[in-house]
């Protein structure tokens, strides 16, 4: 594969580590300049306007630019799971998911593969891909990675994990996360603008900002909601999640060794409503008992 990275190495994420991935070196994301994925299949656990009735055509990529201590997909985030595929094969996967009836193409943790995903998407469009493309990310996105996606991504499904830089450092090894997430969200909005839905209520264009409420982090959550709503109003959807579950065997700080209480989540939802938020998804019931984690055994690759 010809060079798709800068002469100074990889600069796709805000860490700007400069790893020479094209000669087999790995940076913080733990993968070289080849595509690694763990699963490609219809997925039904996204927001209703993404999953719909037929499912979202989801590709789970290996490696990650964050290192969240509570990560639910740790095996692929650490690149312990996944197999190498070519960008040409990725093109075929996109078209196969379209044939299976997917509502959209959903790219999970794509940041560190942006140049190769861009090539695959362009080829897929030339070969008949007509579905909206969802960029499903952790919110810690570099200017370069988002530039590769311009004109190809229709929907940004992005986390906004922290406004508190101390929490970002402690839980994700990214003290600069708040400022980088703000910059990334602004770039996303410049690219796709206000939300558009089809007649079935499926999102065709726009942004959904996810926030996973962490135990004891209600103040941070409220600050995230306040920032997003006061900056973008109803032009960006919020998705407030209560599903945090401490993983067995994980080496978690004491503060994360419990689930979020019903009262904590209710206070966050009430706060959002008091601010005037109307475009939002909320979770009802005890979703922490449900499994949102598929098997990463190479399905569809």
Q: What single string gives the DSSP state of each residue in 238-276?
A: EEEE----PPTT----GGGSSPPPHHHHHHHHHHHHHHT
Q: What is the pLDDT of residue 1?
A: 40
CA 77/CA 61 separation, integer angstroms = 8
pLDDT given at position 297: 84
H/E stretch holding 36 reads strand 35-43
The per-residue b/e assignment along 228-244, b for 16 or more CB within 10 angstroms, e otherwise, is bbeebeeebbbbbbbbb
Q: Please, what is the Cα angle at 289 between 287 and 290, to 5 degrees?
A: 70
Q: Which two tokens stand for residue 258?
A: 């419990």
DSSP class of residue 213? P
Block mean pLDDT (10 aa), the chain, length 301? 65 94 91 95 97 98 95 86 95 98 98 97 98 98 96 98 98 98 98 97 98 98 98 98 87 93 97 98 71 77 94
Helices (H), 74-204: 74-77, 87-99, 114-126, 143-149, 165-172, 177-192
| 12 close to 145: Cβ distance less than 8 angstroms | yes
Nearest to residue 145, comparing CAs of 121, 175, 172, 110?
Answer: 110
Map residue 4 onto helix, strand or coil: coil
- Domains in the chain with CATH codes: 21-286 (3.20.20.70)
* Alpha-carbon radius of gyration of the chain: 18
Q: What confidence score (pLDDT) does residue 74 get?
A: 82
Q: Quote the Cα angle for 135-136-138, to 5°.
A: 120
- The residue assigned the tokens 């993983």 is 247
Determine contact, residues 158/32, Cβ cutoff 8 Å: no
In this structure, are residues 146 and 11 in contact, taking their beta carbons and an 8 Å threshold?
Answer: no
The sign one gets for the Cα dihedral 22, 24, 29, 35 is positive
* CA separation, residue 95 to residues 116, 152, 155, 165, 270 (Å): 16, 15, 18, 40, 42
Confidence at residue 123, expressed as pLDDT on a 0 to 100 scale: 98
Q: What is the pLDDT of residue 5?
A: 67
- Cβ burial of 259 (10 Å; 0-12, 13-18, 19+) is middle
């Amino acid at each position: 594969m010809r060079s798709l990275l800068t002469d100074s190495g990889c600069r796709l994420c805000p860490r700007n580590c400069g790893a020479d991935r094209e000669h087999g070196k790995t940076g913080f994301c733990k993968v070289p300049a080849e595509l690694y994925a763990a699963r490609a299949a219809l997925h039904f656990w996204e927001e209703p306007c993404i999953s719909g009735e037929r499912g979202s055509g989801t590709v789970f990529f290996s490696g990650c630019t964050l290192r969240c201590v509570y990560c639910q997909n740790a095996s692929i985030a650490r690149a312990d799971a996944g197999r190498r595929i070519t960008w040409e094969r990725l093109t075929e996967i996109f078209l196969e998911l379209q044939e299976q009836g997917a509502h959209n193409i959903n790219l999970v943790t794509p940041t560190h593969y942006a140049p190769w995903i861009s090539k695959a998407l362009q080829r897929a469009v030339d070969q008949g891909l007509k579905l909206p493309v969802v960029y499903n990310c952790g919110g810690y996105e570099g200017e370069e990675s988002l530039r590769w996606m311009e004109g190809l991504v229709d929907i940004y499904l992005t986390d906004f994990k922290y406004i508190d830089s101390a929490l970002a450092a402690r839980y994700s090894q990214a003290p600069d996360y708040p400022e980088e997430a703000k910059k990334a969200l602004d770039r996303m909005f410049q690219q796709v603008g206000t939300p558009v839905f089809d007649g079935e209520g499926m999102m065709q264009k726009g942004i959904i900002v996810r926030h996973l409420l962490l135990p004891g982090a209600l103040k941070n959550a409220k600050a995230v909601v306040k920032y997003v709503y006061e900056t973008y109003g109803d032009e960006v959807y919020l998705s407030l999640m209560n599903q945090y579950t401490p993983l067995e065997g994980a080496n978690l700080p004491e503060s994360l060794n419990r689930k979020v209480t019903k009262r904590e989540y209710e206070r966050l939802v009430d706060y959002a409503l008091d601010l005037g938020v109307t475009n939002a998804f909320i979770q009802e019931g005890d979703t922490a008992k449900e499994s949102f984690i598929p098997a990463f055994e190479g399905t569809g690759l």
